[in-house]
Structure 1
């Protein structure tokens, strides 16, 4: 078997409480997955489940509390910033809100070329590369000396993508890259990212809460709930026969384009709100909202294991659906 490009093992992130005596918050609790070269893995779940925190730990914008992040066969989770610097050329991130992630006081030329200059490129060469990248992502190179506020949201996100591509990365962590955009613009950005993946051989960790977008762009999908992965596998299996009750509930909320099918479909309504990560329930963290919960679910946390014989899909549930 070939070594995956990215291997995450038992990744955990605990934040201290906001007040002196408040309980710490375990935002990510033992997350494990792999991303192969050229693959797109989708990471989905409700707001606050730990998706973005996981992405930021992978690119080392956050230091993990525990666990390991192996990139290209090398554990980068504990590297110093100095040792991590050359690896940042291969590992980049696209953020959710394009305008808040771009410096309003810098021109597009400076924004895109900065990663290259930090890595030692000459200013003139970095500017030439920035112009090439603008054209690659569908922007007019002559606008290179404009500022972010002079661009629309979709154009600004293209700038963010160009900045991420400046150092020719192998893996891009896309943190909800289309959720802040209009639907028509979302489709344009998704098409752009798919084209760039084909042309440049990129791998993506695509973080989103929109299951329709995830189905379009991803090869495999990992579903997170309260800091843990509850199901992971090929999108064909996960969308046609979800095994975890939470995955089934998420998919039941996705609108169908056929009005007749939409009227007759089964809708699963979850009870209550997600528990606080500062005080997670014992056992399976989903059991207070699960329609299938039994006594064992309230006392014993299910392990992530193979859902069925002959499948690579894994599910963390004592009573997974068989089909």
Structure 2
């Protein structure tokens, strides 16, 4: 009897609510019962429109935010509510790359200080930390001789390489990449994506890759989870999700991705969703997507569909009462 290996990261029923802007207003449910696994060495893409809860989910996983409910289990240990003291030894294994490279780097610190700080916190000497910083700069494609420069002296792509080097300083096993290329020029995006792929192969990293650009996600991820209004509506292997999306929202997202073939682009069906996403402070009853769904029926307005296997015999799951046939 073979046993399924334990995932490196296990997220179950994760939720996050923020207080409303006014004293008596309803809380904002930014994340509402999210569950997924990430295996060692795997890349899971987390996609969806702005405001769907992707970044909040990533910040809870690395414990920059404490979940309102649910659990985050890393390497078999529940880290959902550990104190900062208890988290300290785990920080070196859980790191994050932020969206805007320049705003995530302290403009008053040199690159040497920015990259070496995590090492110093973990107990390295100043000399060892500086030596390791130079090695990391070379690893991510930066010139080690620029170690004493400041962030404003680097381009956006170079600044993001600094952010990646900082995340690798302590030798992590899991990196949460929150829109790591969306603030960069298209030509630079490819360089950063290639860099992250190479680092994953060389260092055995696992990624939670948060993005809204589905063409980038298709290139870098093994599996894809699609979020809408704080919930995962479809999750499964990249090939299945892109080739035959089961949820109407996933179909709409993929129909907006440009195709390189002009003839195919003109011939394909373009799905236009009506209206804007509802407010997470006042989500609609039943399926949260039903006000914009072209397939919505009576049950969709009253009963929220559970996330379940889309087709017998496969691992992909979809939260829809009337999923598309494979």
TM-score range, shorter chain: over 0.9
**Secondary structure of the structure 2 residue equivalent to 1:28:** strand
The answer to whether 1:99 aligns with 2:83 is: no
Match of 2:128 in 1: 125
* Cα offsets for 1:157-214 (capped at 9, x unmatched): 0000000000000000000000000000000000000000000000000000000000
5+ residue gaps, structure 1: none
| Superimposed CA distance per residue, residues 112-160 of structure 1 (whole angstroms, 9 cap, x where no aligned partner) | 0000001111011001000000000000000000000000000000000
1:5 has 2:1 as partner: no
> Take 1:32 and 1:76, find their aligned partners in 2: how far apart are those partners?
15
Deviations 1:197-255 (A, max 9, x none): 00000000000000000000000000000000000000000000000000000000000
Aligned counterpart, 1:40: 43
Counterpart of 1:89? 92
Q: In the TM superposition, what whole-angstrom CA distance separates every residue of 1:5-46 from its partner, at most 9, and x where no partner exists?
A: 000000000000111122110000000000000000000000
2:195 matched residue in structure 1:
192
What's the secondary structure of 1:20's corresponding residue? coil
Q: Aligned partners of 2:267 and 2:97: how far apart in 1?
A: 39
Whole-angstrom distance in 2 between the partners of 1:17 and 1:319:
34
Partner of 1:295: 298
User: Which of residues 228, 241, 244 is equivalent to 1:225?
Assistant: 228
1:318 paired to 2:302 = no
SS at match of 1:100: coil
* 1:62 counterpart (50, 62, 65): 65
Q: C-alpha separation between the residues in 1 aligned to 2:310 and 2:66?
A: 32
**CA drift at 1:101:** 0.1
Give, in whole Å, the separation in 1 of the partners of 2:187 and 2:248: 32
Structure-1 separation of matches of 2:279 and 2:84: 32
Partner of 1:140: 143
Shift of residue 310, structure 1, vs aligned partner: 1.1
Structure 1 outlier segments of 4+, above 2 Å: none
Paired residue for 1:77, among 77, 80, 84? 80
**How far apart are residue 65 of structure 1 and its match?**
0.3
Correspondence list, 1:192-271, <5 A: 192-271=195-274
Question: What RMSD in Å do the two structures reach over aligned CA positions?
Answer: 0.4
SS of the residue 1:70 aligns to:
strand
5+ unaligned residues in a row in structure 2: which ranges? none
TM-score, normalized by length of structure 1? 1.00
